[in-house]
Structure 1
Amino acid sequence: MSEDGDSLARRALKRVGREEEIDDDRLLNLFRNRAELKKAFADLQKSLRLAEERLASQEAATRRAEERFQAIEQLLARPDTGYTALVYFQLRALWRACQERLQAISAELRGRHEERQRREELMRFNQRKQRQLAGLDQQLAQAQDEVEERLERRNALRKEFEGSQQLWAYFRRRRIAEQLAQRQGELESARLRLAELQDRRAAVNAEPWPEFAGLEISAKRDINLRLIAAAQELYLHFTTDELARKARDANLNTVQEMRYGSEAECKVLIGKVREALATLGPSVPAPEAVEARGQLLAQEAEYRSERETVPMASSVARIDVPTLNPASGVRRRVPIEVNVLAEEYWGIYDALIP
């Protein structure tokens, strides 16, 4: 075969090889795209199933809400149960008002403790910073004195070197030159030390305020004890006609399960709940009463561990009510066996700080 034929054959083989490589790449890309499409399709199917589940859950919730609404309509439409429903929702309103009051107290106490702790942290930070700056200023003064001293010694030696230029002072000039090199090194070392101290002082001076690390355990415990005290005071405030207990029962049970007596009795109870709600202002419970009761609770509260911030319910299981004995004139505390923590009065766990 001629050389031209061999060349054509080689080019043909190369072209066939390139085409096979291109086909392989196309086939590989095809399989890769097919796998990606299968994955995308599976993701879409999963999203569709989740959407269908959410829709079914929402439809079920809507049906339950409609059923409750129809049940309430039926209760209100009947004379024998209509007033019961009114009392029920009045008591739930009382519960909700006390819950909101407790949460407002929690937010107020938390903000107060955070501000105080933040102020103390910043004071400690500034004190530490001032101590560091004072120490660095002292070191800077010493380093500056050292630089000036070494500069004077070097300049004196340089002046002596310049005055020893005579031919007969060759060996003396050589000795002074060695000393001058040593003095120059000492001066540069002192200057470097001074520059390092200046950089350290600038870094300390520019150090930003620390981020707030959160309330300490002692602060959280103090807040939680005051919240328990506030919940107890709210219970005592609404203990007349057992409004606090009735409000809790209304919060735990459905309206169909509750009974409050005849129409006349329900009307009387509605009036009492309205009057009680009208007394719930910003000063209830009284801050001084909460403070005093919180101090009593602090003496009795027990915790499961050093890291716990909420006391064991068994350690705050009663409410001490101060009473005066008319015969002896002696004040004493009479316990009421009501555990506002265990019975979760006024949704207290939503207000406590973990």
Structure 2
Amino acid sequence: MRDWLSSLPWVGSWFQRKVPEERRIQAPSNPQLTAERRRSEQLEEELGACRERESVLRKQLTVLEDSSQSDRQTLAALEDMLRDPNRAQNAIVYYQLREIWFACHRELVKLVEELAGNMEEEERYFHLERFRQAQADELGRLERTLSDVQEEYQLLNERRRKKQEELHRSQRIWHYFKRKRLEAVVSSLSDELKPIQQQINDTREHINEVRMREAPPYAGLSLEGRRRVNLAAIALAQYLYLRFRKDNLADMARGARIKPVHEAHFGPPEECLTIMRQIREVEGRWRSDKDRSGKVRRRARFLAKKAVYSREGQTVPDLRCLDDIQPSISQEGGEVVGDAAPLPVNVLDMDLWDLREAMR
């Protein structure tokens, strides 16, 4: 029926009229449906985050399982060694040598932390002192500028005051031309005083801003400070190597650091007991060395003279300048010198005592 009516000329045009946009009936919004949709999107995001977290945890679990399996194998190998009378002493020597390694590493960490802490405190103090000195210098310059500008302002203002007084006295009819000239002078002086007054105000504001200025935050140990700390760590690593060089204990400790216990073999029980006695003797001499700090300081100064850095910002010296160790270093006047032929040992290249881990 609608199609037939639409075919009529005047009726069809009425059916084809478009309803204005504002008169169309809009479907009412459903707040509950909108909230459910948003909740669904939020749950999907949370589900994605949970899946990512699950993937990370699965990887961590795999790593822990591998580590646990390795620990079980090590424990089984250690039990086998301890059950064998001929090998049991080797395990004891192995762990004593590892304790030497980690004791030396702890000494390195302690030195680096103490030295870096002291240097940071010193640098922070000088950082603040430099700021205060620069602040005082800038305030002095601004106050001198303010004094000069105020003096110039007073001179001009005094000239204007005198001209104004002269103008005030020149009120007779025959003073007409003189009065015009004085008015021009007073106006000119007033114009000259305006920028000077503005400069005085700006300078005072600048002075207040400088006085209220706070010191910038300390950025941490400087490049030079980090280099000094690392050279001291290298010096201590060399000193410790020389202490445990006797009877090849330093090299054996390094082997115990990188090899598993079941691969340790130091000889029959009698030889293992000899090694344990040597460990006690050398460790005792090391810990009782009263000039240990002085020796490390002299060695660090000696290394500083030969240290080479291949690029700007490098805090660890190049390996090639550390290819040998000076067995003993003495001080002659203000200089430190080597007393014997160097040993071809590079503690940094060997990463002796986990040196790189301790450095800054």
TM range (shorter): 0.7 to 0.9
Alignment of 1:60-99 (within 5 A): 60-99=66-105
1:234–1:285 Cα contact (<8 Å) kept: no
The aligned counterpart of 2:25 is 17
Taking a change above 3 Å as real, the CA distance of residues 268 and 50 of structure 1, as seen in their structure-2 partners, is: same
Distance (whole Å) between structure 2 residues aligned to residue 345 and residue 284 of structure 1: 23
- Give 3-state SS (helix, strand or coil) of 1:336's partner: coil
1:234–1:284 Cα contact (<8 Å) kept: no
Unpaired runs of 5+ residues, structure 2, are 1-17, 330-337
1:322–1:334 Cα contact (<8 Å) kept: no
Displacement of 1:32 in angstroms is: 7.1
- 1:11-36 per-residue CA deviation (whole Å, 9 max, x = no partner) reads 9x9897223x748x999988777666
- Give 3-state SS (helix, strand or coil) of 2:327's partner: strand
Give the stretch that moved more between structures: 107-116 or 256-265. Answer: 107-116
Residue 203 of structure 1, aligned match among 186, 200, 209 = 209
The aligned counterpart of 2:322 is 316
- 1:296-339 per-residue CA deviation (whole Å, 9 max, x = no partner) reads 3334333332332222223211112249xxxxxxx951222222
- Give 3-state SS (helix, strand or coil) of 1:342's partner: helix
2:90–2:266 Cα contact (<8 Å) kept: yes
Distance (whole Å) between structure 2 residues aligned to residue 200 and residue 263 of structure 1: 82
Which residue type is aligned with residue 200 of structure 2?
A: L
Give the stretch that moved more between structures: 212-221 or 90-99. Answer: 212-221
Give the stretch that moved more between structures: 136-145 or 341-350. Answer: 136-145
The aligned counterpart of 1:352 is 359
Which residue type is aligned with residue 324 of structure 2?
A: R
The aligned counterpart of 1:142 is 148
Displacement of 1:248 in angstroms is: 0.8
Taking a change above 3 Å as real, the CA distance of residues 28 and 124 of structure 1, as seen in their structure-2 partners, is: closer
The aligned counterpart of 2:335 is none
The aligned counterpart of 1:6 is none
Identical-residue share of aligned pairs (%): 28
Distance (whole Å) between structure 1 residues aligned to residue 141 and residue 191 of structure 2: 26
TM-score in terms of structure 1 length: 0.80
Displacement of 1:211 in angstroms is: 2.6
Which residue type is aligned with residue 133 of structure 1?
A: L
The aligned counterpart of 1:268 is 274
Residue 333 of structure 1, aligned match among 340, 348, 352 = 340
Residue-pair matches, total: 335
- Give 3-state SS (helix, strand or coil) of 1:229's partner: helix
- Give 3-state SS (helix, strand or coil) of 2:346's partner: coil
Alignment of 1:218-233 (within 5 A): 218-233=224-239
- 1:165-221 per-residue CA deviation (whole Å, 9 max, x = no partner) reads 445544443443333232223233222211212222222233322332344433333
Unpaired runs of 5+ residues, structure 1, are 1-9, 324-330
The aligned counterpart of 2:349 is 342
| Aligned-residue RMSD, C-alpha | 3.4
Alignment of 1:41 with 2:47, yes or no, is: yes
Distance (whole Å) between structure 2 residues aligned to residue 308 and residue 197 of structure 1: 44
- 1:46-65 per-residue CA deviation (whole Å, 9 max, x = no partner) reads 33333333333333333333
Which residue type is aligned with residue 343 of structure 1?
A: M
Displacement of 1:123 in angstroms is: 4.0
- Give 3-state SS (helix, strand or coil) of 1:335's partner: coil
The aligned counterpart of 1:3 is none
1:230–1:285 Cα contact (<8 Å) kept: no
